[in-house]
Amino acid sequence: MCWRLMLTDFAALAGLNIFVYFPLRIFIDHFPAAWLRTLFLQEFEIPRHVLDVVYNQALCWLGVFFSPLLPGVAALLCFLFFYLKRFTCIRVCTPPTLSLHSIRSSAFYMLVSLFSFFASLLIVVFSLAEIRPSRSCGPYRGLDTMWREIQKTVDELPAWLRNFFYYFGSAGFAVPLVIILLLAMYYYSAIAAANKHMIEVLKEQLVLEGHDKQFLLGKLNELNSLTRSRLGERRENVVGERMTEGVHFAEMGSRSSSDAQVVTHQGL
């Protein structure tokens, strides 16, 4: 059932991208109308493509117990998915208007993968412990649950190996494991809180630096305007002094010419 879902999902995505979205992209490139681009042009949405990969991975985790060859099919489909997504990104879609950082995308992928892993694990454990297997066929026929076969296999092991497996189901192993996990969660949550606080501090520093830059630019503009006004006043003063000097020199020249004329008249 899981491998059928995987094949159906891959066939649906490949058919839509190759036979629907790719011809639409070619048509839009030849007839670049605004309403066509708004209605039919696809954006490369990173969360949606990440969810496609997580969906196939969850199906692999869910069906690996019931179909041992499913990981091989999942690996082949992941290989084909890579080239299908590459073709979609280059030939079909446009860059997203809202860009996502790689760190946020990685954190989103890890969170969804963790949730799908625990959901698949819960379903498999419930199938082992509660669902009665087929009584007519299969390796678990005649048993109440599949877990009985696991208990029977462990009981047939040597004593030291049987005690080793039983230790994992005892409180001596579970309690320290839970304590260690809680301490690890507290440690990583403390690191995350410290990093968040540091990010807030850095944002405040950037805002303060922006205000300081604006203040310095304002002071620089005031200094430039004051310098320009002073230079204008100095130029006006220099021009006025030169004009007064020119007038003085002109008066001196006229006086000297008049004195020369008086001297010449007296000589005559």
**Paired strand residues for 94:** 43
Backbone angles phi, psi at 100, to 5 degrees: -110, 140
Between 72-86, 93-107, 202-216, 218-232, the lowest mean confidence (pLDDT) is in 93-107
Q: Which of 84, 60, 80 is nearest to 5 (CA)?
A: 60
Residue, of 268 and 34, whose pLDDT is higher? 34
CA distance to 21, 50, 251, 252, 255, per residue, from 259 (Å): 104, 105, 12, 11, 6
In sequence order, the 6+-apart residues with CB closer than 8 A to the CB of 84 are: 10, 13, 14, 17
pLDDT at 70 over 80: yes
pLDDT tens profile 105-129: 667 777 888 888 888 888 888 888 7
Assign 262 a pLDDT band (cuts: 50, 70, 90): very low
For the chain, give the percent of residues with pLDDT over 90: 1
Over residues 59-71, mean pLDDT: 83
DSSP the chain: -HHHHHHHHHHHHHHHIIIIIHHHHHHHHHS--HHHHHHHPPB--HHHHHHHHHHHHHHHHHHTTT-TTHHHHHHHHHHHHHHHHHHIIIII-B--SS---HHHHHHHHHHHHHHHHHHHHHHHHHHHHTPPPPSSSSTTTT-S-THHHHHHHHHTS-HHHHHHHHHHTSHHHHHHHHHHHHHHHHHHHHHHHHHHHHHHHHHHHHHHHHHHHHHHHHHHHHHHHHHHHHHHHHHHHHHHHHHHHHHHHHHHHHHHHHHHHHHHHHH-
pLDDT tens profile 205-227: 888 888 778 878 877 777 777 77
Quick check: 146 and 128 in contact, CB under 8 A? yes
- Mean pLDDT of all residues belonging to the chain: 76
CA distance linking residue 7 with residue 53, whole number of Å: 13
**In angstroms, how far is the first alpha carbon of the chain from the final one?**
139
CA distance linking residue 81 with residue 14, whole number of Å: 9
CA distance linking residue 2 with residue 67, whole number of Å: 9
pLDDT at 52: 82
pLDDT at 242 over 70: no
pLDDT at 15 over 60: yes
Classify residue 67 as left (phi > 0), alpha (psi -120 to 50) or beta: beta
CA distance to 11, 43, 44, 87, per residue, from 27 (Å): 23, 16, 18, 17
pLDDT at 268 over 50: no
pLDDT tens profile 157-215: 788 888 887 887 777 788 888 899 899 989 988 888 888 888 888 888 888 888 778 87
Between 6-10, 16-20, 34-38, 241-245, the lowest mean confidence (pLDDT) is in 241-245
Q: Which of 120, 112, 124 is nearest to 53 (CA)?
A: 112
pLDDT at 261 over 60: no
